[in-house]
Amino acid sequence: MKKLILLFISLLALGAFFQACDDTKTYAEMLEEERDGVNDFIKKNNIEVYELAGVEPNPRHTTVNKGAKICKENNITAVLGIGGGSTIDASKAIAALTLADTDNIWDLVEKK
């Protein structure tokens, strides 16, 4: 059976499920609905998920290295960064490092 594996970078779901803010719901309520929608989709489609929560602003290289290690160890084929700019930047670096012959993002930055 073909598996689709996603890596969730953040508990807060934005992006594809983003809704325009209005006065009827608070931002926290909207985030909870988005998170619930993502979780429902995952459950309905039997998607195996590995999460790297807590990506800090201006992510450290150790966070990227940790995410790539999870991907390599679990043969993850897709990385989905959900959240703000730092989360999305980290997910791009994790995806690149996952396909590289090194375990340290600095090797790619320094072109080793």
Q: Are strands 5-8 and 48-51 parallel, antiparallel or unpaired?
A: parallel
**Residue range 19-30: average pLDDT?**
71
Specify the pLDDT at position 31.
Answer: 77
Q: What is the pLDDT of residues 3-14, one digit of tens each?
A: 444 434 333 343
Specify the pLDDT at position 11.
Answer: 34
Q: What is the pLDDT of residues 42-100, one digit of tens each?
A: 999 998 989 898 899 999 999 999 999 999 999 998 998 887 889 999 999 999 999 99
- Is pLDDT of 2 > 50? no
Residue 23 — pLDDT band, cuts 50, 70, 90? Answer: low
List, as one string, the DSSP characters of 10-44: -SS--GGG-----TTS-HHHHHHHHHHHHHHHHHH
